[in-house]
Structure 1
Amino acid sequence: MKIAVVGSYGAGLTMRVPKAPSAGETVAGGLFDSGAGGKGSNQAVGAARLGAEVSLLTAVGDDEFGRSARELWRREGVGAGHVLTAEAPTMVGFILVEPSGENRIAIAPGALDELDAAAVGSFRAEIASADVLVVSMEIPEEAVVAALRAGRECGTRTLLNPAPARPLPEECWPLIDVLTPNQTEAPVLLGLDEGHGLGDEELARTLHERTGGVVVITRGGEGALIAEASGVTGVPPHPARTVVDTTGAGDSFTAAFAVALAEGQPVGQAVEFAAVAGSHTVSIAGVVPALPTRAQLNALIGNAS
């Protein structure tokens, strides 16, 4: 079972502050934390913890954040031999969090801006040998399109996790076998404005018609919708025992879904498996610490049955 991932890596620098500073103001009393992030890296680590052989394509700088990333992948058993060392620094996100939970985020993409079609070309053998290719969208559009096209040409099942969402170029639609937006991302992909008036089922059907593939719209506490040629079906949520941090839920879901598909599980069963992974992840603070192992998921599934 092999998963190839094309996506992002970034360091998240978080400061919890008593209040957000105004222009020219300095606020003391903050609490600082830093950690690994980026949707591609999170998904790669998540899939590896669930037993997949994983190869990752992303870009990092020749800096301390990049070296920490490579150490993380080595520790987690993620194949990072094709990761690009860029001229620019590793992507960094600065996150200010107020006591209410309100946050302000500034991102410097840095190295990720150098991830191009040529880098994807060097990763082609990994894509060809994978059971599932996972692509997310924190990277340049050129790399997204090149990866999906390589997957299609190699006969590898393609899974696009369209986050952060933006309207997809027309050439992308026929290259997608599986699409996994959440409720807010689904209309953005279609270029719809906030007052579009379409329900989730209609959005799912429309996206299925565009791709001809499987569409899974995740809906948080409402579960998920699956759109296939046979129609739209609902998957009930897997309630979390407690909700501590929802940050990594989408990446955990995507990783587990890809692993289940690579194992040959039917789509409905794969979505249920992924929902359990997401439920586990929101119960633990942080993203990487919250990504489940196979044993943890098996225990949760056993307890729920």
Structure 2
Amino acid sequence: MTPGSSPPLTVVGAVNVDLTARVERAPAAGETVADGVLQRGPGGKGANQAVAAARLGAAVRLIGAVGDDADGRGIRDQLTAVGVDASGVQTAEAATGTALIVVDATGENSIVVCAGANAAIDATTLGIEPGAAVLMQLEVSDAVVSAAATAAGFFALNAAPARPLPAGVLERCDLVIVNETEYAQLPEVHDAPLLCVTLGADGARLFRQGELVAAAAGVATTVRNTVGAGDAFCAALVVGLLREDSEADALARACAVGSAAVADEASQPALGPLDTYGASA
């Protein structure tokens, strides 16, 4: 493929409703703060990455699960409205997953996830097309992670939240994406075929089997919400690599997309086509 193309991408992961309380200062243990402003919207790392990839220009199919409830039906409609193929989103008996999020005035967050339907994805019926490019995270069961890794042609794993990987999954990874904390928690990924380590405002680094191959600086912005920034970054990096951007350009554009995401209050930020974001000099 070439820069500017629309690569097909299958995203496997969690689909949530985000209940976000924006406060001046997050409460300490045992403390109540009373200045919260409540926002409700779609979220979950799988859905966030799928929506970001679609807005950046990929042809995206999402595999996950929602409940047979108003939230699940609403999320399906929202996914379709932004151009994500939601035919792979299963309907589970459990309620649609929910994330309870507190975001302070600096944009930092704390999150409690209630998995709901995300824990009930049937790993035997994912329906990943042979040879598909797959991007996924670790908010779903080990069985789903293993099944997706086995079925994928190109497999990108955002190893978040950090936990030990199921046997055989790392060997299937073409790309692993982690932040600094996850990098420290998962030493087994350090020699991955291609490893991206995100550094927040300091940008990101790309390593091939432990050797640095590309680096990109962060893009200064006003931080409003960091919840969806990592997901937008992952989507941008994978889309860039799939359409055969150079590794340096793909990384630089991903950093620019991540910066745009933290400046947006939504977990699924409004993004433009990938080529509208800066590449390396």
Place the TM-score, normalised by the shorter chain, in its bin: 0.7 to 0.9
Q: Secondary structure at the match of 1:301?
A: coil
Which of the residues 253, 272, 278 maps onto 1:293? 272
In the alignment, is residue 94 of structure 1 matched against residue 100 of structure 2?
A: yes
Consecutive unaligned residues of structure 1, counting only runs of 5 or more, are 191-205
C-alpha distance in structure 2 between counterparts of 1:17 and 1:261, whole Å: 37
Q: What is aligned with 1:134?
A: 135
Consecutive unaligned residues of structure 2, counting only runs of 5 or more, are 1-6
CA gap of 1:263–1:119, structure 2 versus 1, over 3 A, is same
Letter in 2 for 1:176: C
Alignment of 1:145-164 (within 5 A): 145-151=146-152, 156-164=153-161
C-alpha distance in structure 2 between counterparts of 1:234 and 1:46, whole Å: 23
Which of the residues 233, 247, 262 maps onto 1:282? 262
C-alpha distance in structure 2 between counterparts of 1:242 and 1:96, whole Å: 18
In the alignment, is residue 124 of structure 1 matched against residue 128 of structure 2?
A: yes
**1:65 positional shift:** 1.0
CA gap of 1:56–1:292, structure 2 versus 1, over 3 A, is same
In the alignment, is residue 4 of structure 1 matched against residue 10 of structure 2?
A: yes
Residues 20, 98 of structure 1: 8 Å contact kept: no
C-alpha distance in structure 2 between counterparts of 1:29 and 1:53, whole Å: 41
The TM-score, its normalising length taken from structure 1, stands at 0.81
Which of the residues 194, 205, 220 maps onto 1:225? 205
Residues 49, 76 of structure 1: 8 Å contact kept: yes
Letter in 2 for 1:279: S
Question: Larger relative CO (CA 8 A, sep 6+): 1 or 2?
Answer: 2
How much is the aligned-residue C-alpha RMSD, in angstroms? 2.5
- Percent same amino acid among aligned pairs? 36
Q: What is aligned with 2:88?
A: 82
Which of the residues 174, 191, 194 maps onto 1:177? 174
Q: Secondary structure at the match of 2:278?
A: helix
CA gap of 1:133–1:99, structure 2 versus 1, over 3 A, is closer
Residues 240, 282 of structure 1: 8 Å contact kept: no
- How far does the alpha carbon of each residue in 1:224-274 deviate from its partner, in whole angstroms, 9 at most, with x for none? 222115821451313133222222111111111111111112322211121
**Pair member with larger Rg:** 1
Q: Secondary structure at the match of 2:195?
A: strand
Q: Secondary structure at the match of 2:139?
A: coil
CA gap of 1:103–1:279, structure 2 versus 1, over 3 A, is closer
Which of the residues 219, 231, 239 maps onto 1:239? 219
**1:173 positional shift:** 1.4
**1:29 positional shift:** 5.1
**1:171 positional shift:** 1.6
- How far does the alpha carbon of each residue in 1:153-174 deviate from its partner, in whole angstroms, 9 at most, with x for none? xxx1110001111122332110
Letter in 2 for 1:142: A
C-alpha distance in structure 2 between counterparts of 1:245 and 1:26, whole Å: 21
CA gap of 1:215–1:138, structure 2 versus 1, over 3 A, is same
Residues 222, 262 of structure 2: 8 Å contact kept: yes
CA gap of 1:28–1:166, structure 2 versus 1, over 3 A, is same
**1:32 positional shift:** 1.4
Q: What is aligned with 1:200?
A: none
The structure carrying a bigger strand percent of its residues is 2
CA gap of 1:30–1:181, structure 2 versus 1, over 3 A, is closer
